[in-house]
């Protein structure tokens, strides 16, 4: 027979598909098909090209797309480029090449590599976030947000990377370091553009329920939003009219508050100092003002000063000393806290250092600890030392206390979020210009919508100025403009948007990427959106996925689209690593390029091997050698089909059974995304079929056809070739996904006599495939009431007889 020639086959089908696309919008009768939108997280076009790790996600999404295609859907499977951002800009600084130029070159290279995967991408839908026709709409969304009061300016200390010379969002600071370059992050006071994502906090939280997403990701978003219920409690100050309001998430511990701490910036901080503490207090306030927030938050030894003044615990009248300390932040809660050293680590440390009493109010087994050496921070146990609350379960009280406090008129129940507004400006060149004009008369005025896009001008130097201004600030003819409202001289905003801006909404644009009038027409949006399946790395579990949800909700609110969640289903693939689990990267020299593997083994083998390396949701170590096994499997399958295809083999019961099992295994494992076991099922059943073919002279036509169709999502070129060899005229992708019948999968049953000491006492039905143990167990059950003696021997002659010998 003809040997398997992956090169010739793959070349042939790539050409055929280019001529005759296999993903029509309408069915055979010309009726529109139901859409299925399968989206990949679009790549950043880096200069390093793709490695086998990038292939994994793209193969998974293509397998899923082709499976859905075989189920009869019209597949929306676009690809594009997330091309603004620091690497291109840093490259420009180093080489002097305009980022647009290096980006275009990288895109061309990666596009070539991506086409090697033979994925169903519809390149007519391509988008590039740096294309003015695209970022026109990124800017338009900003203008709309500005008009809705969701974009605003704020001067405040931001995270500042001294190495990248730019501001960073909290999300871009990992362990106190710049996410991109690893430099220690500091603070800098700058005027920033902010997006009021906090306005959507509740919807972002509650709507997670609607989503078919991994629980892990939902949990990460829930924690990020960080909604907590607590209380504000008003503490009267002894000898003064003022009250100090504290914010607490643990009002159940109110009886254990033995002191109070104010942030040094608190408006009453200086005033509260009694004459003998005045000097010390003022010094402390001054010293704190010289420290950066980063320094303050680092886990150094606690510092603080006593003001000399006392507050009154409004619940029990206890006198609590008021201290100042910089471990309390001015801009969180109320900037003042009640301190419960028995149940909070920081308070415990502080109280220990300054000899402040510690009163335990929650006890694990109702027993008070004699000498506390650390805080008991769990919110479970029984209340003690708490007056009328004694004996209550603390977790129950935690929920009730805010309401009790409210009823007593000593405070109010509150809801708090960890989620902060989004710092939306960057002091960099390679990003979307923020479309705002600053007019001395009219203030911040948006660029009129019909004047968008506001193009990014060319600059001579891409270097960040380091002053906190973007390189755009140096281009006078760009900066100086006129006010769109009053026409007087005004200046353009020179900050640009963060890289997240384009990726927060790109998936909407694919389906109408040439529309110059609208971001997306309502008609196309209704017909083709939202995304049914989103596939990408778990590293985007919070930021990108949260921002996209926020943008989608906003665009829904202003009527651009009619749905408020962008991604119905989400799958996060694990990473492919080099040896010993080390991330593949150029700097580590452990990058495996797919190009050589495609040449030696073919795209089909590499596709299947990408799935075979391990459960797709987990990280997997790459080992080139494994691809050989997949290649041999494809050859075996090929030979089986080639040997059988021209013979007229009658289907035996066994063949029918294997065929249904095959369809069942592949379908159910695909549905549960157990893609590595799909490949092992293929291998197993192929071996069975090869054995049957040896016995019967070949395999029947139905089974061969089914094999070709099942193979199509995984090894599409070979599947098409086989399908054609089997005499089919149309593409295998028109065949429809095969069905299975669980009845047909059942093993044959045989009748078998059960004897006691050689005498037949019953006849039972068992599976022809039953093992000795299964057969004997079934036999004994049938004659249980007749087994009266001691069993000395159990005999099973396969498929013939069961004989139990008893004494
Ligand atoms: C009393 C208490 C007792 C607290 C206890 C905790 C444990 P999250 O959950 O992060 O919102 N807190 C409030 N405002 C603060 C500020 N500006 N700076 C530093 N800490 C502040 O944390 C809320 C808890 O953090 C609050 O509850 C308060 O301490 C502290 F056993 O109040 B708690
Ligand atoms: Zn004006």
Phi, then psi, of 340 in degrees rounded to 5: -120, 85
| Euclidean distance between CA atoms 454 and 452, whole angstroms | 5
Phi, then psi, of 802 in degrees rounded to 5: -120, 130
pLDDT at position 639 is 96
User: What is the Å distance from ligand 2's center to 451 Cα?
Assistant: 16
Task: For residue 85, give the DSSP letter.
Answer: S
> What average pLDDT does the chain have?
93
Phi, then psi, of 488 in degrees rounded to 5: -80, 165
| Euclidean distance between CA atoms 663 and 659, whole angstroms | 6
The answer to whether residues 338 and 257 touch, using CB atoms and an 8 Å cutoff, is: yes
231 lines ligand 1 (CB under 6 A): no
More reliable by pLDDT, 207 or 301: 207
| Euclidean distance between CA atoms 457 and 433, whole angstroms | 9
Helix axes 594-601, 603-612, angle to 10 degrees: 120
User: What is the Å distance from ligand 2's center to 439 Cα?
Assistant: 5
20 lines ligand 1 (CB under 6 A): no
Which three-class secondary structure state does DSSP give residue 800?
coil
**Interval 614-661: pLDDT, tens:** 999 999 999 989 999 999 999 999 999 999 999 989 999 999 999 999
**Which has the closest alpha carbon to 199: 415, 413, 414, 420?**
420
324 lines ligand 1 (CB under 6 A): no
* Element housing 480 (H / E): strand 480-482
| Euclidean distance between CA atoms 144 and 433, whole angstroms | 15
Superfamily of domain 601-612+620-742: Isoleucyl-tRNA Synthetase; Domain 1 (1.10.730.10)
Beta bridge partners of 262: 324, 336
**Interval 588-603: pLDDT, tens:** 788 888 888 999 999 9
What is 747-806's CATH topology?
Answer: Ubiquitin-like (UB roll) (3.10.20)
Any idea where the domains of the chain sit in the sequence?
A: 138-202+423-500, 228-416, 601-612+620-742, 747-806
pLDDT at position 580 is 85
The answer to whether residues 735 and 709 touch, using CB atoms and an 8 Å cutoff, is: yes
Task: For residue 47, give the DSSP letter.
Answer: T
362 lines ligand 1 (CB under 6 A): no
* Residue where the block lists tokens 């690497």: 87
262 lines ligand 1 (CB under 6 A): no
Strands 801-806 and 228-236: unpaired
User: What is the Å distance from ligand 1's center to 540 Cα?
Assistant: 29
| Euclidean distance between CA atoms 700 and 720, whole angstroms | 19
Q: DSSP for 107-157? A: HHHHHHHHHTTT----GGG-EETTSHHHHHHHHHHHHHHHHTT-EEEEEEE
**Angle formed at CA 662 by CA 660 and CA 665, multiple of 5 degrees:** 105
Burial category of 487 from C-beta neighbours within 10 Å (exposed 0-12, middle 13-18, buried 19 and up): exposed
What is 228-416's CATH topology?
Answer: Isoleucyl-tRNA Synthetase; domain 2 (3.90.740)
The answer to whether residues 532 and 37 touch, using CB atoms and an 8 Å cutoff, is: yes
Phi, then psi, of 364 in degrees rounded to 5: -60, -65
| Euclidean distance between CA atoms 765 and 781, whole angstroms | 12
Q: Is 586 annotated as a binding residue?
A: yes
pLDDT at position 484 is 96
The answer to whether residues 376 and 343 touch, using CB atoms and an 8 Å cutoff, is: yes
Asked if residue 570 has pLDDT above 60, the reply is yes
| Euclidean distance between CA atoms 425 and 152, whole angstroms | 11
Beta bridge partners of 793: 805
User: What is the Å distance from ligand 1's center to 338 Cα?
Assistant: 8
Which three-class secondary structure state does DSSP give residue 298?
coil
Strands 173-174 and 177-178: antiparallel
Burial category of 135 from C-beta neighbours within 10 Å (exposed 0-12, middle 13-18, buried 19 and up): buried
| Euclidean distance between CA atoms 53 and 45, whole angstroms | 15
pTM of the model as a whole: 0.84
Ligand with the closest atom to the CA of 438: 2
pLDDT at position 427 is 86
The answer to whether residues 82 and 46 touch, using CB atoms and an 8 Å cutoff, is: no
Beta bridge partners of 34: none
The answer to whether residues 61 and 552 touch, using CB atoms and an 8 Å cutoff, is: no
Task: For residue 496, give the DSSP letter.
Answer: B
Mean pLDDT for the stretch of residues 190-213 = 96
Question: End-to-end distance of the chain based on CA atoms, in angstroms?
Answer: 62
Percent of the chain at pLDDT > 90 equals 76
Phi, then psi, of 309 in degrees rounded to 5: -105, 155
Of 209-218, 291-300, 424-433, 443-452, least confident by mean pLDDT is 291-300
* Residue where the block lists tokens 């220990």: 352
The model's confidence at residue 466, banded by pLDDT at 50, 70 and 90, is confident
pLDDT at position 523 is 96
Mean pLDDT for the stretch of residues 744-765 = 89
The model's confidence at residue 266, banded by pLDDT at 50, 70 and 90, is very high
| Euclidean distance between CA atoms 770 and 786, whole angstroms | 23
Of 236-250, 568-582, 584-598, least confident by mean pLDDT is 584-598
pLDDT at position 295 is 65
State both tokens at 479.
């900066």
293 lines ligand 1 (CB under 6 A): no
The model's confidence at residue 297, banded by pLDDT at 50, 70 and 90, is low
**Which has the closest alpha carbon to 541: 216, 226, 225, 227?**
216
| Euclidean distance between CA atoms 610 and 60, whole angstroms | 9
| Ligand 1 pocket, mutate which of 201, 226, 250, 386 (most atoms under 8 A from CB) | 250
More reliable by pLDDT, 437 or 48: 437
Beta bridge partners of 159: 168, 187
């Amino acid at each position: 027979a003809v040997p398997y020639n992956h090169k010739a086959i793959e070349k042939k089908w790539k050409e055929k598909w280019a001529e005759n696309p296999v993903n029509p919008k309408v069915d055979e009768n010309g009726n529109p098909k139901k859409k299925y939108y399968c989206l990949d997280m679009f790549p950043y076009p880096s200069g390093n090209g793709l490695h086998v790790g990038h292939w994994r996600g793209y193969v998974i999404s293509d397998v899923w797309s082709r499976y859905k295609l075989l189920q009869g859907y019209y597949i929306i499977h676009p690809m594009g480029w997330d091309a603004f951002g620091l690497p291109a800009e840093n490259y420009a600084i180093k080489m002097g090449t305009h980022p647009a130029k290096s980006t275009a070159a990288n895109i061309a290279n990666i596009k070539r590599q991506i086409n090697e995967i033979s994925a169903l991408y519809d390149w007519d839908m391509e988008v590039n976030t740096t294309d003015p026709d695209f970022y026109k709409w990124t800017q338009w969304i900003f203008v709309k947000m500005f008009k809705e009061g969701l974009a605003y300016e704020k001067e405040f200390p931001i995270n500042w990377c001294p190495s990248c010379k730019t501001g960073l969002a909290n999300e871009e600071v990992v362990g106190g370091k710049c996410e991109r370059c690893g430099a220690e992050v500091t603070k800098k006071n700058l005027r920033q553009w902010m997006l009021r994502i906090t306005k959507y906090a509740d919807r972002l939280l509650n709507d997670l329920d609607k989503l078919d997403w991994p629980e892990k990701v939902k949990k990460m978003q829930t924690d990020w939003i960080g909604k907590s219920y607590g209380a504000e409690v008003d503490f009267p100050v002894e000898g003064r009219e003022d009250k100090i309001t504290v914010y607490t998430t643990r009002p159940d511990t109110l009886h254990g508050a033995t002191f109070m701490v104010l942030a040094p910036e608190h408006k009453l901080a200086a005033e509260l100092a009694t004459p003998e503490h005045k000097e010390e207090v003022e010094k402390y306030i001054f010293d704190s003002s010289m420290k950066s927030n980063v320094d303050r938050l680092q886990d150094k030894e606690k510092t603080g000063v006593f003001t000399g003044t006392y507050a009154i615990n409004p619940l029990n009248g206890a006198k609590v000393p008021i201290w100042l300390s910089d471990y309390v932040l001015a801009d969180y809660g109320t900037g003042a806290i009640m301190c419960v050293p028995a149940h909070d680590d920081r308070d415990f440390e502080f109280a220990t250092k300054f000899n402040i009493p510690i009163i335990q109010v929650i006890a694990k087994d109702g027993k008070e600890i004699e000498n506390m050496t650390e805080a008991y921070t769990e919110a479970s146990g029984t209340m003690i030392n708490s007056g009328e609350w004694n004996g209550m379960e603390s977790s129950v009280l935690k929920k009730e206390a805010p309401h009790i406090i409210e009823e007593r008129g000593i405070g109010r129940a509150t809801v708090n979020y960890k989620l902060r507004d989004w710092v939306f400006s960057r002091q960099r060149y390679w990003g979307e210009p923020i479309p705002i004009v600053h007019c001395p008369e009219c203030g911040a005025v948006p660029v009129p919508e019909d004047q968008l896009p506001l193009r990014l001008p060319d600059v001579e130097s891409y270097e960040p100025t380091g002053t906190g201004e973007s390189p755009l600030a140096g281009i006078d003819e760009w900066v100086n403009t006129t006010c769109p409202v009053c026409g007087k001289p005004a200046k353009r905003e020179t900050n640009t948007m963060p890289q997240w801006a384009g990726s927060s909404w790109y998936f909407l644009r694919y389906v109408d990427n040439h529309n110059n009038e609208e971001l997306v027409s309502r008609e196309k949006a209704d017909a083709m959106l939202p995304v049914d399946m989103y596939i990408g790395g778990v590293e985007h579990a919070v930021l990108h996925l949260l921002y996209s949800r926020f943008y989608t909700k906003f665009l829904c609110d202003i009527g651009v689209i009619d749905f408020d969640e962008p991604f119905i289903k989400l799958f996060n693939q694990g990473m492919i690593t080099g040896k010993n689990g080390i991330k593949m990267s150029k700097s580590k020299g452990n990058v495996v390029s797919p190009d050589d593997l495609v040449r030696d083994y073919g795209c089909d083998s590499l596709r299947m091997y990408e799935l075979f390396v391990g459960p797709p949701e987990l990280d997997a170590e790459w080992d080139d050698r494994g691809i050989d096994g997949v290649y041999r499997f494809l050859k075996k399958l090929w030979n089986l089909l080639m040997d059988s295809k021209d013979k007229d083999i009658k289907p035996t019961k066994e063949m029918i059974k294997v065929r249904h099992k095959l369809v069942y295994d592949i379908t159910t494992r695909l549905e549960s995304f157990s893609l590595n076991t799909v490949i092992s099922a293929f291998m197993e059943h192929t071996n069975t079929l090869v054995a049957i073919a040896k016995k019967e002279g070949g395999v029947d036509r139905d089974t061969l056809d089914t094999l070709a169709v099942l193979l199509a999502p995984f090894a599409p070129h070979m599947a098409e070739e086989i399908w054609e060899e089997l005499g089919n005229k149309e593409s295998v992708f028109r065949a429809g996904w095969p069905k299975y019948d669980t009845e047909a999968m059942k093993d044959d049953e045989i009748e078998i006599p059960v004897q006691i000491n050689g005498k037949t006492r019953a006849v039972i039905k068992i599976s022809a495939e039953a093992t000795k143990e299964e057969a004997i167990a079934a036999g004994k059950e049938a004659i249980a009431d007749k087994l009266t003696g001691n069993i000395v021997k159990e005999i099973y002659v396969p498929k013939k007889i069961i004989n139990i010998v008893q004494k």
